[in-house]
Structure 1
Amino acid sequence: MGDWTPAMVEARLESAADVFRSLPEVKPQGYFNAWPEYFHSFADQVGQEPRMRRPKPGPRDITQADDALLWLRWLDPADVRLVWLRANRKPWKPICWELGISRATANRRWQYGIAVIVWRLNGKRVPSKRSIDFVISRAAQ
């Protein structure tokens, strides 16, 4: 792919979180139920709205989600937690409470994490002797 932008990285991480959330859960091994799963029809659920099921993610979606997870290895462990919580669309206030940081600090660290991923995807080394603001501003270009 060509040049990555922060918006592209953010969208891919959110998509990865959605894919992992929609994968079927792992069932414990051992005893199992051989009866087929019974789906109730609308007539069976009188007065209730039919629930639509989202389709399961395809192989391409799962591969892209796995690739997006590998991007997180380029970040510090504290920043990985922050970026992944935001990819799961968790609001800022619970994130700040959980990590014990201010909203401004959380936003700056999140932008820096996204910027580091953008730099690495575009084949550049993240400069260690430059400021966080420099790294963020250059990733947006």
Structure 2
Amino acid sequence: MAEWTPTMVEDRLESAADVFRSLPEVKPQGYFNAWPEYFHSFADQVGQEPLMRRPKPGPRDITQAEDALLWLRWLDPADARLLWLRANRKPWKPICWELGISRATANRRWQYGIAVIVWRLNGKVVSGKRSMEHVIAVVSERRLS
């Protein structure tokens, strides 16, 4: 496979969030509904919008989503939370309020988290001596070339 890019990592994290969002919810065990299921007649459904559901994710989608979640272990827990919130398409303002950081700091930490994942997926280890700016710059230079 070709080298990973930040865009590929972002897309995979977003698709993982979509997969976990579309999985059926876990229902409590031991409870059941004794009422019979009600079938609507045609007259009941006239004028109603049809119920369109997305297909359930397949085994390959679930495996890729689980792999993407494992990538978050390479990050600081706060940065992993930030990346997961952005993958779930949460706006920046609530994220900043929740984490208690500014918008610029949140964006910088998000870029750093994506860059660390890209480095690790491409078989490199990020040294603790490297600055966030250096790691981001190296990944963005590779993306431009």
Indicate how the Cα distance of structure 1 residues 39 and 55 shifts in structure 2: closer, same or farther if over 3 A, else same. Answer: farther
Partner of 1:131: 131
Contact kept, 8 Å, 1:14 with 1:87, in 2: the verdict is: yes
Partner of 1:76: 76
Single out whichever of 22-31 and 34-43 deviates more from structure 2: 34-43
Q: Which amino acid aligns with 1:97?
A: W
Counterpart check, 1:32 vs 2:23: no
TM-score, normalising length from structure 2?
0.89
Distance 1:28 1:47 in 2: 35
Summarize deviations over 1:57-94 as a string: whole Å, max 9, x none. 00000000000000000000100110000000000011
Partner of 2:115: 115
Q: How does 1:101-112 map to 2 (within 5 A)?
A: 101-112=101-112
Indicate how the Cα distance of structure 1 residues 47 and 79 shifts in structure 2: closer, same or farther if over 3 A, else same. Answer: same
Provide the aligned length of Structure 1 versus Structure 2.
Answer: 141
Distance 1:137 1:53 in 2: 42
Q: Structure 1 runs of 4+ off > 6 angstroms?
A: none
Summarize deviations over 1:25-82 as a string: whole Å, max 9, x none. 0111113247786665775332221121010000000000000000000000100110
What is the percentage of aligned positions where both structures have the same residue?
A: 87
Summarize deviations over 1:87-134 as a string: whole Å, max 9, x none. 000000110111111000000000000100000000001122121111
Extract unaligned runs of 5+ from structure 2: none
Distance 2:41 2:55 in 1: 18
Contact kept, 8 Å, 1:10 with 1:87, in 2: the verdict is: yes
Aligned-residue CA RMSD (Å): 1.8
Distance 2:41 2:22 in 1: 22
Extract unaligned runs of 5+ from structure 1: none
Distance 1:37 1:44 in 2: 15
Q: How does 1:37-56 map to 2 (within 5 A)?
A: 40=40, 43-56=43-56
Larger helix share, 1 or 2: 2
Q: Which amino acid aligns with 1:49?
A: E
Contact kept, 8 Å, 1:42 with 1:48, in 2: the verdict is: no
Q: Which amino acid aligns with 1:111?
A: Q
Q: SS where residue 44 of structure 2 aligns?
A: coil
